[in-house]
Amino acid sequence: MVLGNSRRTRRRVWIRGLLASAAGLLALAIAAPGAAATPCEALRRLNLPDTVIKSAEVVPPGGFAAMGPIRAQDLPAFCRVVASVRTEPGSDIGVEIWLPLSGWRGVFHGNGNGGFGGVLAAGYGPMTAGLRRGYATAVTDTGTAPATPLDGEALIGQPQKWRDWARRSTHVMTVTGKAITEAFYGAPARRAYYTGCSTGGQEGLIEALYYPHDYDGILVGAPVINRTWGHGAVLWNDLAANLEPGRRLSEVKLRLLSKAALQRCGASGSGLSRDPFIGDPKACRFDPGELACGDQDREDCLTAGEVATARAFYSGPTDRRGRPLFYGWLPGSETTGHFDWSFLQSRPNGEPPFVSLFKWVFGSDWDWSAFQVERDMAKVDAALGPIVNDATRGSLRDFRARGGKLIIYHGWADSLVPPDQSVAFYERAVQEAGGLEEARGFARLFMAPGFSHCAGGPGPDVFNAAGAAAIPPPTATPRHDLFAALVDWVEGAPAPDQVISTRYVDGSPAKGVAMQRPLCAYPAKAWRRGSGDPNNPASFVCSVSPPT
């Protein structure tokens, strides 16, 4: 999307006015904002362009009721501000920011949303991580309320909201959040960091590509890079499983398929045959036809219809001649326990997941069962591509030039957002930078074996203390935490070549560590040294090729 000159001018005027208003209202803040509740409540009178401060209130230690199960006694008291920003007719971007009453470390922390956004609470988990670090931490509803993360039906006929969701809302959150932060503390943030996964990952890439001065460090997971085709692939999978009778894979058949894929691919490349996950899925080719048993419906094999469904999942969308049009899923993502194939075959509202995006183009009565990938995706790309696919374009040159640092992570067992997209994005950045070493100076990619979509999976799954999982790593140090590694990198430490990912017994830190493995900066992989303990990260080395 390219804004016209008049619209760019309005944006510059809005941002200058926002910053000027914040500077003129520093009297609202006092040197020790934790001394009394008045400074927080006074933010209700903060006058920022196009902005309504809907509430400003002190939250006592432990959090507030709407946080639900993530409330915890170790959360410090904070000032909670909720605002609405309307920069253009039809646009209404919700912003929420939490400001520690004491111990602010001079850092602004922006967070991403998920799916179609629409609710601020989607960012509360990562915001608690920022709050514990002493950061002012914010989230946006992406300007799509009353949509919800899984339902964008309310956005039909709302092009301004599409633009807010796809590109503008995170920047608006950042500028607004920084202004409120400066007004409250009486000083601007000295650093700014961003964290987000899935749609939140896409938002982070948009920040780096188009708003390079917003953040010093950006950590994104499983970013939705090609938004239109990402939704097209979900619909492709749903119809492959459901359009014809007898083609849906039951949980039993999914486990059968997963076991066969693990047996075929577990020891491929840098993987280990004894692991309960596939360590190097790109090093193996697996054909579900190996499990075929004709038309017999037995638990130990796949019918012809079930084989066809599995092949459609692995291939991804293809044209009428069978040539690939987008990415498919990789072996090892069949039953990851989070967003696995059973999710893609379910219909929570009686319709395929995320089908709302197609209704923005074709209307609310569109017959999704008649979807034809070549015909319909051309129309969707023509209508929405210039609006929602900005992460497929743009340049990281300015972000690199101003010293920004970018870390991307993605699970190889992600069956909702194809991990190959992140690899392709990074390789494009490498080419633009002039080579791998040049790109590694400001951007790193970590591919996580056995890790599902943003959380969970059969492999080591705890390596990001700012993520949605809300389970801290063994220590919040750069050795075990991508976010801590990013912060240290921005502050002048060496770039991270690896971090240690942890799997806890039954997912509980109290029960101890079940396994640890290094995550290596792409294109390196974790290769085992000789016969060392496979659960000990010291038994592995990060290398592009096997150690000699």
For residue 304, being part of any structural domain is answered with yes
- 132 with 254, same domain: the answer is no
Give the Cα separation of 467 and 471 in Å (integer): 9
- 43 with 175, same domain: the answer is yes
Range of the domain at 250: 229-354+371-383
Give the Cα separation of 267 and 280 in Å (integer): 8
Secondary structure string (H, E, C) spanning 465-482: CCCCCCCCCCCCCCCCCH
DSSP letter for each residue of 119-170: -GGGGHHHHHHHHHTT-EEEEE-TT-TT-BTTB-GGGTT-HHHHHIIIIIHH
pLDDT score for 195: 97
User: What residues form DSSP beta bridges with 292?
Assistant: 302
First to last CA, the chain: 50
The amino acid that residue 258 corresponds to is S
Burial of 502 (0-12, 13-18, 19+ CB in 10 A): buried
DSSP secondary structure letter of residue 244: S
Give the Cα separation of 352 and 344 in Å (integer): 8
For residue 398, being part of any structural domain is answered with no
Give the Cα separation of 111 and 20 in Å (integer): 24
Say whether 489 sits in a helix, a strand or coil.
Answer: helix
Total domains in the chain come to 3
- 89 with 155, same domain: the answer is yes
- 28 with 177, same domain: the answer is yes
- 241 with 167, same domain: the answer is no
Per-residue confidence of the chain (548 residues) as pLDDT tens digits? 333 444 444 455 455 555 444 444 433 333 344 433 348 999 999 999 999 999 999 999 999 999 999 999 989 999 999 999 998 999 999 999 999 999 999 999 999 999 999 999 999 999 999 999 999 999 999 999 999 999 999 999 999 999 999 999 999 999 999 999 999 999 999 999 999 999 999 999 999 999 999 999 999 999 999 999 999 999 999 999 999 999 999 999 999 999 999 999 999 999 999 999 999 999 999 999 999 997 788 999 999 999 999 999 999 999 999 999 999 999 999 987 766 777 777 777 788 999 999 999 999 999 999 999 999 999 999 999 999 999 999 999 999 999 999 999 999 999 999 999 999 999 999 999 999 999 999 999 999 999 999 999 999 999 987 765 445 544 567 789 999 999 999 999 999 999 999 999 998 888 999 999 999 999 999 999 988 899 999 999 999 999 88
Kindly list the distances between the CA atom of residue 67 and the CA atoms of 75, 274, 456, 548, in Å, as whole numbers in the listed order.
12, 40, 21, 51
- 31 with 82, same domain: the answer is yes
Strand runs (DSSP E) across 355-512, as ranges?
405-411, 443-448, 498-504
453 catalytic? Reply is: yes
**Cβ–Cβ under 8 Å, residues 522 and 426:** yes
**Cβ–Cβ under 8 Å, residues 489 and 495:** yes
Q: Which residue's entry shows tokens 């492709």?
A: 236
Catalytic residue among 169, 198, 356, 539: 198
Say whether 297 sits in a helix, a strand or coil.
Answer: coil
Q: Which of 139, 169, 191 is the last residue of a domain?
A: 191
pLDDT score for 350: 83
Give the Cα separation of 193 and 108 in Å (integer): 6
Q: Which of 191, 219, 251 is the last residue of a domain?
A: 191
Strand runs (DSSP E) across 143-216, as ranges?
191-197
For residue 63, being part of any structural domain is answered with yes
- 178 with 240, same domain: the answer is no
Q: Residues in the chain, how many?
A: 548
Give the Cα separation of 416 and 496 in Å (integer): 27
Catalytic residue among 414, 420, 481, 488: 414
Q: Which helix (H) or strand (E) holds 237?
A: helix 227-242
405, two tokens: 């640092």
Q: Which residue's entry shows tokens 């396994």?
A: 515
Phi, psi dihedrals of residue 329, rounded to the nearest 5°: -85, 155
